[in-house]
Structure 1
Amino acid sequence: MAAEDGGSPRSAAGPPLPGVLCDIAELLSAGEDAPAGALWKLAEPGRQLDANVVRIPAAGRVDTHTEPDLDVLLLVLDGAAVLVRTDGERPLRAGVLTWLPHGSTRGVVAGPDGVTYLTVHRRRPGMRIQPPDAADRLRPGGA
């Protein structure tokens, strides 16, 4: 969904300006008919964060995985889900804000009506092309 105010994070002659990014109520208005996957992504240039609004249909899931690098905030916007953790499952419903610390193992299983949630985390650095011998420096005994 496009920003309501044009999405420009910088004024023509100065520092960044706050901006409206999307209307969550409008995103949620499609209800169970919303497509699966990312309904919205933060895409402003120069950002330090990544954010997504994600829809998982009924009984859909994000497989259990371990995120080694990033803490993630997950806010359920609509529907319900189960957060799968190594010590069991925790129910999630609209309005529940969850912290997923880096290094934790987690998965999400959507409830009978599906779930829509917002995630926010630090932006991953972009991929950089390295010289051919760069990997050698990471190996034991490397230069």
Structure 2
Amino acid sequence: MTAEDHGSPDPAGAAPLPRILCDTAGLSASGDVPAGALWKLAEPGRQLDANVVRIPPAGRVGTHTEPDLDVLLLVLDGEATLICPDGPRPLRAGILTWLPHGSARGILAGADGATYLTVHRRRPGMRIQPPGAAAGLRP
């Protein structure tokens, strides 16, 4: 779902312009909201990735670790529990959470489900490298 931005693609060589991308309140305004990604940032040349994700009632994102990227998570609607190694943390609309890279986390949606925005640095595309190239990237 895209909000009206009253803009057009920039002419070649022109400075990029701010744009309204999405009305997040409108994404979950209808009663029957699907689970999964409701919106993704897809503009060319971006340095960030962002998603609006819906977890159905009592649904979950299994515990996992993101080794490379810090993630900001902003709950837009509903309630959930952030599952962390040191204990659960309640999440509700308006709560902004930092998920540092290397941290283990999972999400358990509440009785009405949860909708949240995630933002992180864009992951570079995968490229075929010559044998041994990855060893040069390690600290």
TM-score normalised by the chain length of structure 1: 0.87
- The answer to whether residue 79 in structure 2 is matched with residue 80 in structure 1 is yes
Q: What residue number does 1:65 align with?
A: 64
Contact 1:7–1:20 (8 Å) recurs in 2: no
Q: What residue number does 2:16 align with?
A: 16
Q: Partners in 2 of 1:94 and 1:83 — Cα distance?
A: 13
Q: Aligned pair in 2 of structure 1 residues 7, 99: CA closer, same or farther (>3 Å)?
A: farther
Q: Look at both structures and tell me which one has the larger radius of gyration over its CA atoms.
A: 1
Contact 1:66–1:105 (8 Å) recurs in 2: yes
* Identity value in percent: 74
Q: Partners in 1 of 2:96 and 2:89 — Cα distance?
A: 12
- The answer to whether residue 134 in structure 2 is matched with residue 135 in structure 1 is no
Q: Partners in 2 of 1:3 and 1:120 — Cα distance?
A: 19
RMSD (Å), alpha carbons? 1.8
Q: What residue number does 2:47 align with?
A: 48
Q: 2:49 corresponds to which letter in structure 1?
A: D
Q: What residue number does 1:4 align with?
A: 4
Dislocated runs of 4+, deviation >4 Å? none
Contact 1:76–1:97 (8 Å) recurs in 2: yes
Deviation digits for residues 29-81 of structure 1 (CA, Å, limit 9, x no counterpart): 024x1000000000000000000000000111110011100000000000000
Q: 1:18 corresponds to which letter in structure 2?
A: P
Contact 2:2–2:23 (8 Å) recurs in 1: no
Deviation digits for residues 67-110 of structure 1 (CA, Å, limit 9, x no counterpart): 10000000000000000000010000011000000010000000
Q: How many residues align?
A: 135
Q: What residue number does 2:27 align with?
A: 27
- Name structure 2 gaps, 5 residues minimum: none
Q: Partners in 2 of 1:138 and 1:16 — Cα distance?
A: 34
Q: Partners in 1 of 2:19 and 2:131 — Cα distance?
A: 41
Q: Aligned pair in 2 of structure 1 residues 118, 138: CA closer, same or farther (>3 Å)?
A: closer
Residue 12 of structure 1: CA displacement? 1.1
Contact 2:78–2:115 (8 Å) recurs in 1: yes
- Name structure 1 gaps, 5 residues minimum: none
Contact 1:71–1:102 (8 Å) recurs in 2: yes
Q: 1:42 corresponds to which letter in structure 2?
A: L
Q: Partners in 2 of 1:138 and 1:99 — Cα distance?
A: 29
TM-score normalised by the chain length of structure 2: 0.90
